[in-house]
Amino acid sequence: MPPAVADHDLPYLSATEARQLFESRSLSPVELVRAVIDRAEKTEPVVNAFAERLFDEALEQARHAEDRFLGKNGRSPRPLEGIPVAAKEKHAMAGRSLTEGSLAKRGNVATENAPVIDRILDAGGIIHARTTTPEFSIATFTHSRIWGLTRNPWNPEFTPGGSSGGSAAALAAGSALLASASDIGGSTRIPAAFTGTVGFKAPYGRNPGSGALAADHYRGDGPLARTVDDCVLFQNVLAGPDPRDHATIRPKLTLPTAYEDVTGMRIALCVRLGAYDVHPEMEANTRATARALAEAGAHVEEIELPWTQDDLLTAFAGHFATIFAETVTEVAEQHRDQLTSYAQNYVDVMAFVRTQVTYLGSLRAENRLQTQLAQAMGPYDALICPTTAVPGWHAGDDMTGQRLVVNGEDHGETLWAAMTLPFNINNRCPVLNVPSGQSSWGLPTGVQIVGHSYDDATVFRVGKALEGLRPWTYTPDRRPVL
């Protein structure tokens, strides 16, 4: 029988470890859920990652999960049986609030579950909390008028990123074992980078969505976790076709749970993606990651992409102004005074963009960028690059100014702070964020592993290797102090 786990360590178990302890009957799902709830009660006054708490319901579900592991009622445990999962509030739960962080939508109640919620529940996951986002998930930070300010557990002066900031902060704080996320411009990978967690942007069509925006090929729902194994476990639950989203790919892809090392792999290193001014600490940590892969037997070569700011701006400005921004504009037409300043600014900027860029023009720029990436990656199995150009930004900043100023230092235009959006433009590419180190700002840093179109397994192979080569685990001596 495995040794007992100290109570203070329970919230930082991986889901994979918890499942093994459940099966050996050395840990009960009820004990784990109680430990996670206790941890949340201590951390939430500082972190503020939860939009809604479902603690009583979670404990009841944990008792049912315990029965399955005890063999009662003839029901076998499912893949996420008994695992506490924090769900992003924008992922609709029938009968629950669906505000998307906006006062303008207060009182809105979901009539059905989002596919990601159904997948979690059908796999036995216990949704004990719903997590905060910026208003309409349009920002790379997490605060709103309805929920207030969410802080990074590693350094509460900084944001955990956005838009899945509440989900990532909950993982870092130990108030969840898994968390749901979404990504239309970096909303999974940016928070993962800032919190030292693992986030996967699945290629378009891999995981189902719902509603009109499921057809937006920039976006997709996906997993956040503290380890690569847990990310694989969660992604295997989320993937596969759903009748509510006919774009989902058949048949379902099930990722391997074991991977070869990186010996003989050809990996491209690209620090600046052609257009980004990268902070020295981000560059140093990315290069250290590349060296670790090379020392492990991979052939790592540095490349530069011919991407330009003009093409990147044209691609994503035309796309967002035509599709996603229209959903916010519809609300602003009736309730502008209830929106945050950054949401109002977003509406105004996108209205101007629509006079400057056509959707066809943005598609032409997308095509150039996609062709250039395909040509550059042709000789390689994967590409690695920083997830963000700077180590973080302050909690409470609304990022609507001309410059990003952190600790009195000018780090350039805020638009170029995150290096994630190019891979929403190239959204058939799977992208995995894993930790690359830590900055002098007290925050983790992240590296993106980019695969060829729909080659999901390769990014997890590289990610699993890096987890062993440059260990980043939430051990007792390596956790946020709150």
Please report where in the chains the tokens 């990651």 appear, as a residue. Answer: 289
Question: Using one digit for the tens of pLDDT, what is the confidence trace for 299-313?
Answer: 999 999 999 999 999
The pTM assigned to this predicted structure is 0.97
First to last CA, the chain: 33
Residue at 334 is within a domain: yes
User: In angstroms, rounded to a whole number, what is the distance separating the alpha carbons of residues 308 and 286?
Assistant: 21
Residue at 100 is within a domain: yes
Domains held by the chain: number: 1
Residue at 479 is within a domain: no
β-partners of residue 447 are: 386, 434
Question: Using one digit for the tens of pLDDT, what is the confidence trace for 237-266?
Answer: 999 999 999 999 999 999 999 999 999 999
Residue at 478 is within a domain: no
Residue at 464 is within a domain: yes
- What does DSSP say about strands 299-302 and 178-182: parallel, antiparallel, or unpaired? unpaired
Alpha helices (runs of H) in 26-179, residue ranges in sequence order:
29-47, 55-69, 115-122, 165-173
- Sign of the CA dihedral with 391 first, then 403, 46, and 345 last: negative
51 closest CA partner among 133, 137, 112, 158: 133
Question: Using one digit for the tens of pLDDT, what is the confidence trace for 356-381?
Answer: 999 999 999 999 999 999 999 999 99
Q: Which two tokens stand for residue 202?
A: 């699945």
For residue 438, the SS3 value is strand
Question: What is the predicted pLDDT for the residue at 55?
Answer: 98
Question: What is the predicted pLDDT for the residue at 3?
Answer: 59
Question: What is the predicted pLDDT for the residue at 230?
Answer: 98
Domain extent, residue 401, equals 7-469
The domain that contains 58 carries what CATH number? 3.90.1300.10
Number of residues in the chain: 482
Residue at 474 is within a domain: no
User: In angstroms, rounded to a whole number, what is the distance separating the alpha carbons of residues 448 and 278?
Assistant: 14
Question: Using one digit for the tens of pLDDT, what is the confidence trace for 20-60?
Answer: 999 999 999 999 999 999 999 999 999 999 999 999 999 99
Question: Using one digit for the tens of pLDDT, what is the confidence trace for 461-473?
Answer: 999 999 999 998 7
Residue at 102 is within a domain: yes
Band of the pLDDT at 402, cuts 50, 70, 90? low
Residue at 142 is within a domain: yes
